[in-house]
Homo-oligomer: A and B are copies of this chain.
Amino acid sequence: MTYGLITKFLARPGERDALTDCLLLAAERMPRASGCVHYLISTSDEPEAVWVSEVWVDQAAHDASLKSEDVMALIGRARPLIASVAEQIPLAVLGGKGLPT
């Protein structure tokens, strides 16, 4: 089953842009991690909120990416910029427009 994950981070005050830059860099590195379909970085009206919308071919691919040196290094850089993980919703992606055919 295609695996989705919506994460809402709250950046430390004044660190939202540094966090989005860091996560956009992580998105660039994703192609080397096999199985990553979407890794989108967004903001919302809430000042410190940063949203990451992920889609992976399956949960195993997602979990394996967290063990890759690249991603672990990026997470290490992002962690000091994060005040909290406000929401994290694992999803079973049934289908729709925007998935590789």
Give A contacts to B, CB under 8 Å. Answer: 4, 6, 20, 23-24, 27-28, 30-31, 36-45, 51-53, 55, 89-99
A89's contact among B20, B41, B44, B52, by CB below 8 Å, is which?
A: B44
Q: Give Cα distance in the complex from A55 to B37, angstroms.
A: 14
The answer to whether A93 and B39 have CB atoms under 8 Å apart is: no
The majority secondary structure among interface residues of chain A is strand
Q: How many copies does the complex hold?
A: 2
Q: List 9 A-B contacts (CB under 8 A).
A: A24-B96, A27-B96, A40-B95, A40-B96, A40-B98, A41-B95, A44-B91, A53-B53, A55-B98
Nearest-CB distance from A21 to chain B (Å)? 9
The residue that A94 contacts in the complex, of B43, B55, B93, with Cβ under 8 A, is B43
A97 and B27 contact, Cβ closer than 8 Å, known pairs A6-B6, A40-B55, A55-B40: yes
